[in-house]
Amino acid sequence: MEGIEWHVTALDSTQSTNSYLDAMDRDTPQPEGCVVTARAQLAGRGQRGNSWEAAPGENLTFSYLLRPAGIAPQEQFVLSQAVSLAVVDVLSQYAEGFSVKWPNDIYYHDSKIAGILIEHTLSEGRIGRTIVGIGLNVNQLAFLSDAPNPISLREITGMQYDLDELLQRLLEATSRRYAMCLMSRDELQSDYMSVLYRREGVYWYRDKEGLFEASIERVCPDGMLLLRDVGGAERRYAFKEVAFIL
């Protein structure tokens, strides 16, 4: 898998960079590496249908297009690993303490600094297209929504950052991690587990049966989360089937 040639379209504002890029590609097929950024995102979308708060001009909100030939639909979690690791790779250049909260939220200790939304389109039984949307809190100091635990890079380090420079670093890191999807999946899995949020210790979780205490056993290649509760029973969850109690 060769390096990605990135092409950035910068918008002043849009409802959602994922939706904008989706419409662009449906109107005229775009090459892999097409990137859409927005200074203001008016209706940013996150996992579980959540919105993403971002003060105009203070954070990174962007989406990019991948065409992951050679990755079967049942293997799609490897893309989530690559994308989330790329973000951690870059943030770790500025401070320690970043992790990936399963499946792909980016945390600084117990606070959320970035959200990732990955949307696949299948074609003839393969992943024909992937749109990755990332919202990264960079220079924002005040968060007005009811999100429980946001934090920005500026709050962590006390420094302001050039958004264009940070974007380029993220795209370069994505190219490196994306190349590993075919060549180095074992290394991706190992790296993902090494930065997994709550990878050690016993914590509270909630599933459809209620609250329970458990530790993380592992994350499977298909993205399933395996927990072992304090009674010794193994519990296996797909995304949205279990919640972390923060």
Query: What residue ranges do the domains of the chain occupy?
Result: 7-194, 203-244
Return d(Cα 19, Cα 76) in angstroms, integer: 20
What's the CATH number for 203-244? 2.30.30
Strands in the chain per DSSP E: 7-14, 34-41, 60-66, 98-101, 105-108, 111-123, 126-136, 203-207, 210-219, 225-229, 234-237, 243-244
How high is the pLDDT of residue 54?
A: 61
Confidence of residue 146 (pLDDT cuts 50, 70, 90): low
Give the pLDDT of residue 41: 85
**Average pLDDT value for residue range 189-217:** 98
Residue 242, CB-side half-sphere exposure with 13 Å CA sphere? 23
pLDDT of 73-93, one tens digit each? 999 999 999 999 999 999 999
pLDDT at 185 over 90: yes
Tens of pLDDT along 23-44? 999 999 999 999 999 999 887 5
pTM of the model: 0.93
Task: Out of 3.10.690.10, 3.30.930.10, 3.30.70.2740, 3.30.530.20, select the CATH number for domain 7-194.
Answer: 3.30.930.10
